[in-house]
Amino acid sequence: MTRRKRPESVLVLVYAKSGEVLLLRRKKPAYFWQSVAGSLEWGEQPLPCALRELREETGLAGAGLTDCDTVNRYLLYPLWRHRYAPGVIENTEHVFRLELERPCEVRLDEREHGEYRWLDAARAAAMVGSHTNRAAIERWAGQRRGGAGDGRA
């Protein structure tokens, strides 16, 4: 029997001080652009999951990873619901961010992602499919131009 996914995940926004945002292009079944993201394993806490996903998807160690104190809840697309226990329709997402000095090369997990790009925040926000990913880009990376604080209200 296949173990069902836990309906709890992390979103890790990676961006440079100059405002460029790292996006990864997901492979099959749905080719789309996103920040680092992944589901928590059963028994795993959000911070260790964020560090694990960051390392697995980009090869980055995560020194300086910051918990954004943001938790999103959203409906799972019907396309993905078969991965979860029957009746599960909602996911809880914990948001983290990693600010780097400058864009850098990353090592992709080629089973999950086909390519990566560093894009200015506005273009990155326009490319992602997830509204929570877009909001994270706009809140944190979009505020970086000209040293404009960390975007917290």
Q: Mean pLDDT across the stretch 56-63?
A: 97
Q: Mean pLDDT across the stretch 86-98?
A: 98
- Confidence check: pLDDT of 150 > 60: no
Longest dimension (CA), the chain: 53
This prediction has a pTM of 0.91
The three state secondary structure string of the chain is CCCCCCCEEEEEEEEECCCCEEEEEECCCCCCEECEEEECCCCCCHHHHHHHHHHHHHCCCCCCCEEEEEEEEEECCHHHHHHCCCCCCEEEEEEEEEEECCCCCCCCCCCCEEEEEEECHHHHHHHECCHHHHHHHHHCHHHCHHHCCCCCC
Report pLDDT for 2. Answer: 66
pLDDT band at 79; cut points 50, 70, 90:
confident
- 146 vs 51, higher pLDDT: 51
Question: Among residues of the chain, what percentage have pLDDT more than 70?
Answer: 92
What is the residue extent of each domain of the chain? 8-146
Cβ-based neighbour number of residue 73 at 10 Å: 11
Domain 8-146 sits in CATH at: 3.90.79.10
Report pLDDT for 149. Answer: 39
Report pLDDT for 8. Answer: 98
